[in-house]
Chains A and B, each alone.
Chain A
Amino acid sequence: MTEKELFVQGNEACALGALKAGCTFFAGYPITPSTEIAEIMSNELPKIGGHFIQMEDEIAAVGAIIGASWAGQKVVTATSGPGFSLMQENIGYAVMTETPIVIINMQRGSPSTGQPTRSAQADMMQCRWGSHGDYETIALAPSSVQECFDYTIKAFNLAEKYRCPVFVMADEIVGHMREKITIPENIPITPRQMPEKTENYLPYDAPENGTTPMPSFGQGYNIHVTGLTHDKRGYPSTDDDQTHTQLVTRLCNKITKNTEEIVEIESQYIDDAQTIVLSYGIPSRSALTAVKQARQQGLKVGYIKLKTVWPFPAQQLQQLSKNAKRIIVPELNLGQVYLEVDRVLGKQAKVELIPKIGGALHTPKEILDKILEE
């Protein structure tokens, strides 16, 4: 058997993807609609000698996975809005200390406790800006159960490559729906880079726009890891303007300067498109239906799906949509990634939002009606 087919939920696919990517550690806190991921990991991890811990809250969950990452393991947690808010503090710590972690957010109706069992995409800007300070982040948005599996693996690989938190920004619908997934025999997995031990080892001596190999605790490197601004030795250096500038600039640049390598965009019917429906995550399935219906009516409408939302693929989108006059952005919120699309494409096209909150997915008709509006 070269590949395996399963009929599973999105949450299950995320858990399977994590295990396939080499994850051996999960710490989390139960929250609808992501709880199934924790349940599956609690069942599976002990079988492979891995560890599952139900922590006292989501702050502790991210703390624990960062600790385990520094013990040399691939780690993940899963949550939804309220838990994602609590995680922001230690997400910033992972950014600053360049700790690879994966966070899966099954977004639900919000603010606050909101709608635990309904869908939303309203944490997209929190994902981008939620922890304090200047930083850049990587976020993937699955729109199918297969993508829940694929993107979780990709998130682990990117986390190792760029040594940063990577987010799988899914939603209640994709988390709870069931579809067939195919698990290929060979899946590329990025292992952690081991440093070469030298006399004068410098744990944070990173190249421009890049990162360094990461040792783990107990290997004899005797490194100091701190959320304070630190120099190449990893030692606090909080009063030196240049040390801070260089560190934070590099942490941002290692993502933004590698945008082309990180991001993936899917497009269809784009060449002659006058109007493009640009979406990410679950609404892209309504969008594709609407675009196909519009094409059947002879309209020149194209489709773009952002597989990666952060870093935002500005140049790639400007290129892809250079002939379009209208860009329509359906989102399960009142306008978040739309703002970024407008910033990037607003000068070359009219960017229009189709907001939707309340828990349901845009119907294809809602998107088609907007296409037909002009």
Chain B
Amino acid sequence: MTEHEHRFMKYLRKERLPHIFCPGCGDGIVLNTIFNAIEMSNTDFDNISMVSGIGCSSRIPGYVKCDSLHTTHGRALAFATGLKTANPKQDVIVVTGDGDATSIGGNHLIHAARRNIDLTVICINNDIYGMTGGQISPTSPKGSYATTAPYGSTDKPFNIAEIAKAAGASYVAKYTTAQPVQISMAIKAGLENKGFSFIEVVAQCPTYYGRKNKIRSPVEMINWLKENTVTLEQAKTMTDEELAGKIITGEYINKPRKEFTEALEDITRQISEVNPDTNINSAYRSE
């Protein structure tokens, strides 16, 4: 029997498989949507570089056959800002998680959004720290359990998409892993948007979130995501009490504005005769 290779296998570093993700993890679904979005958009796969921080989701770029920078915890957007600015011709995709992007990296997130630098950020939000074994995160729902919240979380969670929008991102969308088509379309829109694009994907972590919160199987978790999903439109007429614990999905903003690296290039054009592309790979120049 001949086995047909998955159509996205060509984008993977096959020699690195099997991957480290747990059975039922949402990261695989998201990786699939990323490839799907790249193919649907006008993005040349060979022109993509990926950057990530630390956490389960940040391991994704390591499996993709492109230049990839697996950086320090929370700092992916800072590294990506340097990488993109130094060579704006690259399409830079950042993969991050809820802890990486909003806890330790929260400051970098709001500033990258403020600059509207042309990065496509995919934030996989599983409401928990998976890599370290199930600790509470800034997006864990109030009352949910984690190894560091044995009596239930007392805090109001972040709606990350709302933060990205408020900080100045020009494209923001939020969906769950139960909506893979919408995720693909959002990532495609993000890749095509010349500016800071933020796609939040609420994902299941059956291993830690599920276990701690008695939603044990991946199927149960996906159903839990579906049951708690409301659209932005529906949310408009709901009270705060009704919205507690809900995942508000949809396109939060799609409003292109001047992009960061373009603004820098404009300055160079105004004050000098130098072509802004001059310095790509300039370190190799001998004088």
A and B touch in the complex (CB under 8 A): yes
B75 in the interface (beta carbon within 8 A): yes
B274 in the interface (beta carbon within 8 A): yes
Segment with Cβ contacts to B, from A61-69, A113-121, A241-249, A315-323: A61-69
Known contacts A63-B82, A93-B71, A217-B87, A194 near B47 by CB under 8 Å = no
- List 6 A–B pairs whose Cβ atoms lie within 8 Å, in order of A's numbering: A25-B86, A47-B271, A48-B279, A51-B85, A217-B67, A235-B16
Whether A89 and B87, one on each chain, are in contact in the complex, defined by CB atoms closer than 8 angstroms, is no
Q: Which residues of B contact A (CB under 8 A)?
A: 13, 15-16, 46-47, 49, 51, 61-62, 65-72, 75, 77-87, 89-90, 107-108, 111, 264, 267-268, 271-272, 274-287
Known contacts A218-B49, A222-B65, A235-B16, A67 near B83 by CB under 8 Å = yes
Whether B286 and A49, one on each chain, are in contact in the complex, defined by CB atoms closer than 8 angstroms, is no
What are the residues of chain B within 8 A of A217 when measuring CB–CB?
A: 49, 67, 69, 83, 87, 90
Whether B46 and A220, one on each chain, are in contact in the complex, defined by CB atoms closer than 8 angstroms, is yes
Whether B62 and A236, one on each chain, are in contact in the complex, defined by CB atoms closer than 8 angstroms, is yes
Contact of B264 among A46, A69, A218 (CB under 8 A): A46
Whether A53 and B79, one on each chain, are in contact in the complex, defined by CB atoms closer than 8 angstroms, is no
Please measure, in the bound complex, the distance between the C-alpha atom of A12 and the C-alpha atom of B28, giving whole angstroms. 51
Whether B283 and A49, one on each chain, are in contact in the complex, defined by CB atoms closer than 8 angstroms, is no
Whether B86 and A226, one on each chain, are in contact in the complex, defined by CB atoms closer than 8 angstroms, is no
> By CB atoms of chain B within 10 A, which of A46, A72, A217, A221 has the most?
A217
Given A25-B85, A51-B85, A72-B87, 14 more pairs with CB closer than 8 A: A25-B279, A47-B272, A48-B272, A49-B268, A60-B107, A66-B82, A70-B67, A70-B69, A191-B283, A216-B284, A217-B87, A218-B67, A227-B72, A236-B70
What are the residues of chain B within 8 A of A93 when measuring CB–CB?
A: 71-72
Known contacts A74-B283, A189-B286, A224-B62, A53 near B82 by CB under 8 Å = yes
Please measure, in the bound complex, the distance between the C-alpha atom of A212 and the C-alpha atom of B66, giving whole angstroms. 20
Contact of B284 among A47, A90, A191 (CB under 8 A): A191
Contact of B79 among A22, A63, A189, A221 (CB under 8 A): A63
Whether A73 and B70, one on each chain, are in contact in the complex, defined by CB atoms closer than 8 angstroms, is no
Known contacts A68-B82, A189-B287, A222 near B267 by CB under 8 Å = no
A205 in the interface (beta carbon within 8 A): no
Please measure, in the bound complex, the distance between the C-alpha atom of A82 and the C-alpha atom of B65, giving whole angstroms. 39
Whether B280 and A56, one on each chain, are in contact in the complex, defined by CB atoms closer than 8 angstroms, is no
A160 in the interface (beta carbon within 8 A): yes
Whether B70 and A22, one on each chain, are in contact in the complex, defined by CB atoms closer than 8 angstroms, is no
A55 in the interface (beta carbon within 8 A): yes
Whether A67 and B78, one on each chain, are in contact in the complex, defined by CB atoms closer than 8 angstroms, is yes
Q: State the 6 A-B residue pairs at the shortest beta-carbon distance, nearest first.
A: A67-B82, A63-B78, A64-B82, A71-B86, A72-B281, A67-B83
Please measure, in the bound complex, the distance between the C-alpha atom of A24 and the C-alpha atom of B275, giving whole angstroms. 13
- Residues facing B in A33-51 (CB within 8 A) are 46-51
Whether A46 and B71, one on each chain, are in contact in the complex, defined by CB atoms closer than 8 angstroms, is no
Contact of B62 among A66, A100, A192, A235 (CB under 8 A): A235
A228 in the interface (beta carbon within 8 A): yes
Contact mask A212-239 → B, CB, 8 Å, 1/0?
A: 0000111111111111100001011000
Whether A22 and B68, one on each chain, are in contact in the complex, defined by CB atoms closer than 8 angstroms, is no
What residue in chain B is nearest A53 (Cβ atoms)? Answer: B85
Whether A90 and B72, one on each chain, are in contact in the complex, defined by CB atoms closer than 8 angstroms, is yes
A139 in the interface (beta carbon within 8 A): no
Whether B67 and A223, one on each chain, are in contact in the complex, defined by CB atoms closer than 8 angstroms, is yes
Please measure, in the bound complex, the distance between the C-alpha atom of A27 and the C-alpha atom of B85, giving whole angstroms. 11
Q: Which residues of A contact B (CB under 8 A)?
A: 22, 24-25, 27, 46-51, 53, 55-57, 59-75, 89-90, 93, 100, 160, 189, 191-192, 194, 216-228, 233, 235-236
What are the residues of chain B within 8 A of A25 when measuring CB–CB?
A: 82, 85-86, 279
Whether A60 and B83, one on each chain, are in contact in the complex, defined by CB atoms closer than 8 angstroms, is no
What are the residues of chain B within 8 A of A68 when measuring CB–CB?
A: 82-83, 85-86
What are the residues of chain A within 8 A of B68 when measuring CB–CB?
A: 223-225
Please measure, in the bound complex, the distance between the C-alpha atom of A49 and the C-alpha atom of B264, giving whole angstroms. 9
Please measure, in the bound complex, the distance between the C-alpha atom of A53 and the C-alpha atom of B264, giving whole angstroms. 9
Contact of A22 among B67, B75, B83, B283 (CB under 8 A): B283
Contact of A73 among B15, B49, B274, B282 (CB under 8 A): B282
What are the residues of chain A within 8 A of B70 when measuring CB–CB?
A: 224-228, 236
What are the residues of chain A within 8 A of B84 when measuring CB–CB?
A: 67
Please measure, in the bound complex, the distance between the C-alpha atom of A237 and the C-alpha atom of B31, giving whole angstroms. 22
What are the residues of chain B within 8 A of A219 when measuring CB–CB?
A: 281
Chain B's nearest CB lies how many Å from the CB of A218?
Answer: 5
What are the residues of chain B within 8 A of A220 when measuring CB–CB?
A: 46
Please measure, in the bound complex, the distance between the C-alpha atom of A218 and the C-alpha atom of B88, giving whole angstroms. 11
Please measure, in the bound complex, the distance between the C-alpha atom of A50 and the C-alpha atom of B16, giving whole angstroms. 37
Chain B's nearest CB lies how many Å from the CB of A286?
Answer: 37
Whether A89 and B283, one on each chain, are in contact in the complex, defined by CB atoms closer than 8 angstroms, is no
Contact of B283 among A59, A64, A192 (CB under 8 A): A192
Chain A's nearest CB lies how many Å from the CB of B3?
Answer: 25
Whether A72 and B81, one on each chain, are in contact in the complex, defined by CB atoms closer than 8 angstroms, is no
Chain A's nearest CB lies how many Å from the CB of B169?
Answer: 15
What residue in chain B is nearest A51 (Cβ atoms)? Answer: B85
Contact of A71 among B62, B90, B275 (CB under 8 A): B90
Known contacts A47-B274, A68-B82, A22 near B65 by CB under 8 Å = no
